[in-house]
Chains A and B, each alone.
Chain A
Amino acid sequence: MPTHYADHAWHGPVTVEENVTLARDTYRIRLACPEIARRVLPGQFLMLRLPGESDPLLGRPLALYDVVAGPGGQPHSIDLVYLAVGKMTRLLTAVGVGATLEAWGPLGNGFPLTPTKHLLMLAGGIGQTPFLALARAYLGLQRYGDPPRQVVPAEQVSLCYGVRSGDLLAGVEEFRRLGVSVHLSTEDGSLGYRGLVTDLIAPVVRQSAGACRIVCCGPERMMQAAAEIARQLGVPCQVSLESPMACGIGICFSCVKKIRDGSGHWDYRRTCVEGPVFEAADVEFY
């Protein structure tokens, strides 16, 4: 049962240790924040804000990309990957090493670390960001959380990753180095399969040696299509939703989505504290 309170969140200043380009308009920022780094789980996020600014005013939710150990081997920093698309993220690209930002987290429930033989991660656009840490957890390469969570390793971890154009693909080699089997698609055909990433789901599921589970993060249309494909294939599927958030901690009731309960009725649920990961079959997409 997920908790609906951000009881393990920490709020304070964080120092920028790195802010580098990964792909077109795509950056990785490293923040020194041991309090968050030691607690955070794959699929959780934190809110990041430019301190002292009233425009942009609100924090922005950014998913954990990875945890980085300090000199003593303990979790010390976290990496976030962001696409410079709006007012805040464009300003963030200009933030230098040594600058102070304000952060609160970890937030949300993250992915349930349910054992599975084959984990298929479906990413669209910038939706690959929560999957690097998840892959490391499922491949037994790293334990996250305080106390560290033990995950039954998967035999196979796949990433189906689709973007509009090849120059937007970010971090592909990092996934490959872990041993993730990577399947790429681009809408313009500049790299990998030409078309929608959801076309890759069925063939990759069929390559499964055993039980498969799908986790998705990306545009809602993609996740809706994936939910339907998963249903037809009879494969469990979870989606990490992104909806506009003001607080990230459950107090503003902005980030709601229609989620069905067991009886089929929907209610607005807050994606920040009750999600962001939901069973795909429970989500009313439109």
Chain B
Amino acid sequence: MPLSQAEPVRTAEARLDVQLGRLRLANPIMVASGTFGYAREMAGLVDLSRLGAILPKTITRQPRPGNPPPRTIETAAGMLNSIGLDNDGLEAFVERQLPYLASLKTTIVVSIAGESCEEFVEMAARLEGVPGIDALELNMSCPNVSHGVDFATDPRLCERVVSGVRKACSYPILAKLTPNVTDVTVIARAAEAGGADALSLINTCLGMAVHWRRRRPVLGNVLGGLSGPAIKPIALRIVYQVAKAVKIPLVGIGGIAGIDDVMEFLITGATAVQVGTANFYNPTVCTRILDALPAALGELGMRSVADVVGTLDADPSPLHRD
């Protein structure tokens, strides 16, 4: 029996549903864009109906072949990737991938990346009213594709993109931000001002790997995005900082590989989480986390996810230490 079908551990009716602005999720466990294909790939291994939301691989307006291989390399407790938004473009997604996603009962958040503010808006307008979409996530922070323009490194540009998309469609909007800035809270406030329903924190950390004997970079694209357990402390730090800076809900992303990681993000201030790299090396991780979630809430004496969000006791006084 696949692990995904193992008997879930149930404790007295814990409430798992959460609210991200205008978007309601049955539970806080989402899968991060780019780490779950278009979901159909996982249907044999995972009961997709159990997921809080599915974020299919980011789409762009036009097809993109992606970056030359090697595209990934394992690093200590993580991996670098430079996939480069390899995808067949928006129209092919709507025609070939969305009908399957629409057939699922799961919430679908479509991740889009534009090359300009206008293109983000145009894509949102094109997707308006298309069946099967529950929300949009704006990938303003893919480190592998920017041509010197990073929509999530410039607060004015970030606000323009979010507000433009907000006017162009009626979907709830998640703005996915990059950690590769000096102060994420500035960008987070800009996205909030633009009308984002929630912020997804964080995208990958820009990194590099080198073959010293060959004097060559390892990745075909030289630089790549670091993900996996190695970046969890960075993601937690950013969720902590941004939670104090904005009023909109946060979605924690970065190295989540088990129930303990999920609880850490919730406590720190994330209303939901996205599991990313762990899907690659533990394909049934999300359902294992869901099996463990009610008991973890129970351990804190809580009966709903919403009750634990942002309950971190950051008082440094020694009396509060274990």
Contacts and interface: CB of A to CB of B under 8 A. Distances in A.
Could you say which of A8, A12, A58, A252 has the most chain B C-beta atoms within 10 Å of its C-beta? A252
Contacts of B65: 267-268
B86 A256 contact: yes
Q: Majority SS of interface residues in chain A?
A: loop
Contacts of A6: 41, 44-45
B242 interface: no
A57 B79 contact: yes
B69 interface: yes
Given A55-B77, A251-B37, A252-B35, A246 B280 contact: yes
Which bucket holds chain A's interface residue count? 35 or more
A273 B37 CA distance: 12
A256 B41 contact: no
A250 B66 contact: no
Q: Majority SS of interface residues in chain B?
A: loop
B2 A12 contact: yes
Contacts of B86: 253, 256, 268
Contacts of B283: 9, 11, 104, 247, 249
Contacts of A9: 44-45, 283
Nearest to B83: A253
Given A9-B45, A244-B73, A247-B280, A253 B57 contact: yes
B74 A56 contact: yes
A51 to B, nearest CB: 9
Contact of B45 (A104, A244, A267): A104
Contacts of B24: none
Interface string A248-260: 0111111111000
Contacts of A104: 45, 283
Interface residues of B, number: 39
A149 B301 CA distance: 55
Nearest to B284: A11
Contacts of B310: none
Interface in B252-268: 257
Interface in B240-297: 257, 277, 279-284
Contacts of A174: none
Nearest to A247: B280
B314 interface: no
A57 B66 contact: no
Given A6-B44, A55-B76, A57-B78, A251 B36 contact: yes
B281 A59 contact: yes
B78 A268 contact: no
Nearest to B258: A52
A276 to B, nearest CB: 14
B2 A11 contact: yes
A5 interface: yes
Interface string A89-109: 000000000000010100000
A56 B3 CA distance: 22
Contacts of B228: 54, 57
A59 B282 CA distance: 8
Given A252-B81, A268-B86, A58 B280 contact: yes
B298 interface: no
B281 A57 contact: yes
A255 B76 CA distance: 20
Interface of A: 4-12, 49, 54-59, 87, 102, 104, 243-244, 246-247, 249-257, 267-268, 273
24 contacts: A4-B41, A5-B41, A6-B41, A6-B44, A6-B45, A11-B284, A49-B281, A57-B74, A57-B78, A57-B79, A57-B228, A58-B79, A104-B283, A244-B69, A244-B71, A246-B72, A246-B280, A249-B41, A251-B279, A251-B280, A252-B81, A254-B69, A256-B66, A256-B69
